[in-house]
Amino acid sequence: MLVKPHKILSRPVEDKDINRVYDEAKEIYKIFGKKIGMYNMFFAIAHQQTTKDDPLRFFIINPKTKIAEQLPEAIIINPEIIRHTNNTIDSEEGCLSFPTLPPNVVQRWNKCEVRFKVMLENKQISGWQTMNLSGMLAKVFQHEIDHLDAKYIYDFK
C-alpha cells in the first residue's frame, strides 16, 4: 500500500474529504504491525506515503506506540508547526518510504508547538488543537509534516 517517494504536495483536508480520510485511514491502519523492509515497528504513516493521487494533509500515529497515549486521537489532520525553539538536535531516523536504506541523521527542533485537527470516532473533524511537543513526539510530527510537504530524510544530506 506504500508508494514510491514522490514530490506531490499534500493538500489540506476539507469537510468534503471526511469520508475519504475515514476510508483511507482504515486501509493505512492495516499497515501497522506489518514488517516493511527492515522495519518491524514504526511511529506513523503520512497519507502522502500511500498515494500519488491527490494526497491529503493527514497522518496516523501508530496506536501501538507509547506516543499515541499523548494525543487525543491517532488521525492527525492539517498539522502545522506554529512555533519552535532555535535549538536543534541530531535525530537518527528511518523511513518507510525507504525501507531498505539505513537511518539518516537529520536536524530536528528540540521543542515545537503544533496546531492540528483530529478525526473523531463519529467521523467528524475536531476544531483546532495546539500542543507543545518535545522528545519523540516532536520528532515524529516534524518527520510526518516533512512527508506532507514532500520532503524526505535523505533530502537533508
Q: Which residue has the cell 510537504?
A: 149
Specify the 3-state DSSP secondary structure of 99.
coil
Active site residue 144: yes
Cα–Cα distance, 118 to 59 (Å, whole number):
10
Q: From the candidates 24, 73, 93, 144, give the one annotated as an active-site residue.
A: 144
Task: Pick the closest to residue 148 from 83, 84, 60 (CA basis).
Answer: 60
For residue 128, which phi and psi values (nearest 5 degrees)?
-65, 140
Q: Is the dihedral of CA 32, 39, 41, 50 positive or negative?
A: negative
C-alpha of 79 from chain center: 9
Positions marked catalytic: 144
